[in-house]
Structure 1
Amino acid sequence: MPDATDTEGLTVGQVSARLDVTVRALHHWDEIGLARPSLRTAAGYRLYTAGDLERLHRIVVYREIGLGLDKIRAVLDDPTADVPGALRAQRTQVAERIDRLQQLSAGLDRMIDAHERGLLLTIEQQAAIFGPEWNPDWLTEARQRYGDTTQWRQYAERSASRGPEDWQVIADAMAGVDRALGEAMDAGVAPGSPEAHHIVERHREVFASYFPLTREMQVCLGRSYEADPAFAAHYDGIRPGLATWFRQSIDASARHHGIDPDTATWQ
């Protein structure tokens, strides 16, 4: 404790420095009667005695553990106050706050991990959910190519909150779209027909599980589905020529919604 005597009081500035309390806080506590200096200089300046400093020290301690000023006043001035009970209640609140902070920390760790890895799944879980065609290296390539984009950030933020069951639901929905595409081709559905428009819209809605997908962006994806060897192999593996049929259907749907697929950009 700082040393002061009744005859040699400390100024507000000295108390502020010794107890690491702002001058503004000391003035406020004086104004509300929580901690008033016992002495004044001839010029009217506040001077704090050893007894004043003892009270201030207790106020600082109680404030640091989270007690409000009204509760501190009661603890200090009410002889009937249940001090241990008040401290136990505060300890419970502190423990709850620590638990919330630990959960927040764990959430931040998952968010960081998702931004860096894309999927918070083991290799075995990825293979079980996405099938034998899945290549875990695709995530690294996607991070390198798209890591600075808005879409990667949106994808990572969603990924951080998903577990294996959530990804299984999404994988099953995408597989359902693939089946619908193959069945539409088998049935002779023409690009630009209402049936084709429905499947294209279904694809856009399911794909939005990764990040919001505009129709312009979907057109850009359709080009990749046809031109990229890996994508083309996937769709043509479902039905020969499906990659081109799907791209044509996406383009026709875009035109139906007033979008020129020839000039569409990733926006």
Structure 2
Amino acid sequence: MNHKTFTHLIGRLLTAALLMGAAVSFAQPVFRVTAIPDESPTELARKAAPLMKYLEAKLGTKVEFTPVTDYAAAVEALANRKVDLAWFGGFTFVQAQARSGGKAIPIVQREEDEKFRSVFITSDPAIKQLADLKGKDVSFGSQSSTSGHLMPRSFLLQAGVDPDKDFRRVAYSGAHDATIAAVAGGKVQAGALNISVWEKFVADKRVDPAKVFVFYTTPPYYDYNWTVHADMPAATREKLTQALLALNRNDPAGKEILELQRATRFVPTKADNYKGIEAAAHSAGLL
């Protein structure tokens, strides 16, 4: 083999090696994250962006937020391992646990989720208690929502009010912000939703609490969490858990992420915390 041919061969081998290297770098696995669509898509994307950037730095891999169209799609995405990490409500976690054959593992929840609550709102001064909803048009959020449907329904039943028999009409708005809009717009006389979305709307002056107001706040229950699939490598799960637990309000980046997540901090959680939600789902005939 002459020198020219040898040089040409080495050049081709180097080019092939570089191309293979590029292919390997391009084929880097993407860490996918999703969330139940309990608010508008623009709000979910806004809340997710800084967290995705933070996790990318902590995990050393590309992290992408993958929106889904409805609650059921979020459950399916984790159960079928189309995503690595999912933000669930208590009820969607219970559904994912059932759908995956017990392979959904909740890793952290906000401190607030240990004692989460729902609120019932109205624009009608004559509505003062849950019993006053009889004969009225009332909106829940999504049918799979913990704080926008399951737990409000559970507390209604405990108060002797059966939505399917006692309400004139049961509506499902699909999301907490849509429930506020339905009550404020007079489409329904009352609605049930997540307390943190309500408080955010009041703080941002997006609703006038003199016209639309809370008339009942539920007792506390466990709610939202970040969940992974049991098939995730233990080292990755540990790294991810520690990254979320390390978020701190005293650090500017941590403060921004936690405020967008409406959290003071994340704390460890476990599947047993959601036994009450599971029982409520069974008693309401939703599971």
Higher gyration radius (CA): 1
Higher relative contact order (CA 8 A, sep 6+): 2
Higher strand share: 2
Same fold at TM > 0.5: no
TM-score calculated relative to the size of structure 1? 0.29
Higher helix share: 1
